[in-house]
Every structure is written in C-alpha cells, then in structure tokens.
Amino acid sequence: MKVLIADDDADLRELIAFSLSQAGYLVIKAGDGRAAVRRFEEEAPDLVVLDVNMPGLSGFQACEAIRRSSRVPVMMLTVRGEEEDLVRALGLGADDYLTKPFSPRTLLARIKALLRRAGMEPSAALATGRVALDLEEHTVRIGAGEAVRLTKLELRLLQMLLANAGHTVSSDRLLIQVWGHRSGGDRQLLKQLVHRLRQKIEADPAAPALLRTAAAGYKLVVD
C-alpha cells in the first residue's frame, strides 16, 4: 500500500513517513503542493495526506488538482480548526481532515479507517508473480518454496522492490525508503544489504535472476 505525504515541515514529514514505513506502508514524500501533484502523477499512490499550508500550491489546490483525475482517498492536515476550512476541504473532495498537533498513532488509525471505508484495507501479504511477501511475519516465499525469514531492513528493501516489480528503483530512493532519510545509509551499506537478501532469495546468488543490478539502482524481476 503506497501513501503520499506532503508537508513543508520537514521534521513532521519525516516523522510521519517513518511511522507509516514501520507500519508496512510504502511512503512517498513531497515538501510542497507542486511536488505533491508531480509525485502523485509519477507514483499513483493509494492514499494522499496533504498539509493545507504549503508553498507553491496549497493543500487545497493540490487536492483540487488530484481530484481532476483521481478518486484516491485524500486526508488534509492543518494547524487550524475553523469550520470553514473543513467545509472547503470536503467541498474540494477530501475524505478526511486532521488538525495538528496529532500523534502518529492517531494518524495511522485514521488512515486505516479511511482505507477501510474506500474498500482498500491493507493486507499483511504483498505478492507479485512468484514472490510473496508477508509483512507481519517478516517472511518471503519464492514460488512453491519454503518461507524465508527476513530482517527488518531486508523486508523494507524487498517491499520497495516488489511494489515496483519490473522497474528499476534508484539507489537514492532505496536508501531513503530503507533507512528513513538520506543520511541513514550509504551505497556500500545498500550493496551489502542486497548481497544478504540475494543469499536468501536467489537459487544462485552469484548469478541473480530475481534481484538484478541496474545502471542507477536495482530491479526485481518476478516473471
């Protein structure tokens, strides 16, 4: 399940992203309204969380732009609690509204409720082709093989690759997703993590058929 978080408060954005990643969601981040609309078009997330007060385009304007082409669930965040803001957000097509400050646990509960109402309740299992990932058990199964236990970092890496199966995911994007922020890891650590994961999922780790190296990153081939 992929969630787009758009907020110009970098600390809050990273906190929300980390909390959702820990809960098993794939997170896409944007620091302003224009970036939010661009990332939405590029990534096609399953749910969008928009701060109202952002530079460039406001959350209201970003919501309006998203609603021109999609009915994906949208939640608005704001420091204000005025009724007119709530009415405006709902009038533009937002599905829910949360006033700052809030706890990550509250946001997560509201996101889960919003997905349930939209008939999109997340599953603990993620499967594409012959690769099946169990987010709760931290295991992966390749075809009819036995389930293999994964570490938390291996799980995050494989989750990101599986969600983008067949497409190259850049090393920079993987570093952000796996370690939480740009300074959380480096390319050498990523290479080591890929090596360890290949030992668990490849029939021949020296000649990987599933987790392949690409020019700018890595790609999971599941056919």
112 and 10 within one domain:
yes
pLDDT in the model for residue 6: 96
pLDDT in the model for residue 78: 82
Expressed as residue numbers, the domain containing 91 is 2-117
Its pTM stands at 0.65
Q: Strands 131-134 and 125-128: what pairing?
A: antiparallel
Q: What is the largest CA-CA distance in the chain?
A: 61
pLDDT in the model for residue 95: 92
Q: Residue 93: which CATH number?
A: 3.40.50.2300
pLDDT in the model for residue 23: 79
77 near 59, Cβ under 8 Å? yes
181 and 107 within one domain:
no
87 and 25 within one domain:
yes
Out of 77, 101, 117, pick the residue that ends a domain: 117
pLDDT in the model for residue 119: 78
pLDDT in the model for residue 163: 81
137 and 113 within one domain:
no
144 and 65 within one domain:
no
Q: Return the SS3 of 53.
A: coil
- ∠ Cα 80 31 220 (to 5°): 130
75 near 54, Cβ under 8 Å? no
Return d(Cα 114, Cα 120) in angstroms, integer. 8
Q: Residue 212: which CATH number?
A: 1.10.10.10
pLDDT in the model for residue 56: 86
pLDDT in the model for residue 122: 60
110 and 199 within one domain:
no
150 and 83 within one domain:
no
pLDDT tens for the chain, 223 residues long, are: 789 999 999 989 988 888 888 777 888 899 999 999 999 998 888 899 999 989 889 999 999 999 999 999 999 998 766 677 778 888 889 999 888 888 888 999 999 898 888 877 665 567 788 898 888 788 999 988 899 999 988 988 998 898 888 889 889 888 877 876 544 568 889 999 999 999 999 999 999 999 999 888 999 998 7
Out of 87, 117, 147, pick the residue that ends a domain: 117
52 and 22 within one domain:
yes
Give me the number of domains the chain comprises.
Answer: 2
